[in-house]
Amino acid sequence: MLTFEDFQPGHFATLGPRHVTREEIISFAAEYDPQPMHLDEEAGRLSLAGGLSGSGWHMCALAMRMQVDGIIGRADSLSGLGVDEVKWLAPLRPGDDLTLEVHVDEARVSKSRPETGIVRVRAEMFNASGEKLMTIVSNGLFRRRAPAQA
Amino acid sequence: MLTFEDFQPGHFATLGPRHVTREEIISFAAEYDPQPMHLDEEAGRLSLAGGLSGSGWHMCALAMRMQVDGIIGRADSLSGLGVDEVKWLAPLRPGDDLTLEVHVDEARVSKSRPETGIVRVRAEMFNASGEKLMTIVSNGLFRRRAPAQA
């Protein structure tokens, strides 16, 4: 099990590839973000994205799944705390194969819960052409290996 | 249709209530955030949340849906740009009835696309007891009613 101590600042992991289908894009959008450009080819063509595009929140959810599969599922993770930033830089497209580059920006012991530490992670999502689609900076709470002996 | 000019700083709308079922919470988590505390009652009881809790990203997706239904679906919205902050403050629970208070923090004309404007929105999610579950600050691009006559 990964604990707080395993998250040192620097590049942490490359996750994926994760293939995304047109059906998934439309299914997520129908449930959570039913804007025409996420549901319909023609509306997508007329939108800024110039074609059917996935919801930005779908990209966030996919990044989370990739991190659970690759990191959090084998870590002593207590909770997500929040997000410092999401930037949607380019559209998610049907058929994309997504890669996630995960970097630890900062790791610090929690003041209020010294048996835990807060890890700030920067995840960058790329498509198969190497185009950066999104960055997410988020904070998670992990258990420390050795309890604090105050 | 709402355009950029309709988003003036201040309280904009109260959205919901949106009822959330145990099945929805588990279904979202199974797909995008399969951590035990989002899938299983007993694992939830042993987690920091002290019971089955929804994924923070599910809360984001639900907030998006509420905003599409209540605001964006009747606005000349061009694109989401990104998120300045998400804070997960209290757990989403099965059976919650969610309300979203939507405030416009700032509205400014885009320098690079003067026919559009950027609206920064602060959305606060509450349960039926009035407990604040989440805040999201995000930025969206809307068309202006009158084209710039530079």
Contact B80 A88 (CB under 8 A): yes
Contact A86 B82 (CB under 8 A): yes
Q: What is the mean pLDDT of residues A2-18?
A: 97
Looking at residue A139, its pLDDT comes to 97
Looking at residue A82, its pLDDT comes to 95
Q: What is the mean pLDDT of residues A17-46?
A: 97
Of B2, B133, B143, B141, give the one whose Cα is nearest residue B63. Answer: B133
Sheet holding B77-88, edge to edge: A10-19, A97-109, A116-126, A132-143, A77-88, B77-88, B132-143, B116-126, B97-109, B10-19
Q: What is the mean pLDDT of residues A72-85?
A: 95
Residues of A in Cβ contact (< 8 Å) with B60: 57, 60
Q: Is the pLDDT of residue A69 over 60?
A: yes
Instruction: For residue A82, give the nearest of B33, B80, B88 by CB distance.
Output: B88
Alpha-carbon distances of A81 from A142, B12, B31, B49, B87, rounded to whole Å: 11, 27, 20, 12, 7
Looking at residue A52, its pLDDT comes to 97
Q: Residue A33: closest CA among chain B residues belongs to which residue?
A: B65
User: pLDDT for B60-102, tens place per residue?
Assistant: 999 999 999 999 999 999 999 999 999 999 999 999 999 999 9
Q: Residue B142: closest CA among chain A residues belongs to which residue?
A: A48
Contact A68 B31 (CB under 8 A): no
For A82-150, the DSSP string reads EEEEEEE-S---TT-EEEEEEEEEEEEE-SS-TTEEEEEEEEEEE-TT--EEEEEEEEEEEE-SS----
- Cα angle: B28, vertex B132, A82; to 5 degrees: 60
Question: Do the Cβ atoms of A9 and A107 come closer than 8 Å?
Answer: yes
Contact B82 A88 (CB under 8 A): yes
Radius of gyration of chain A (CA): 17
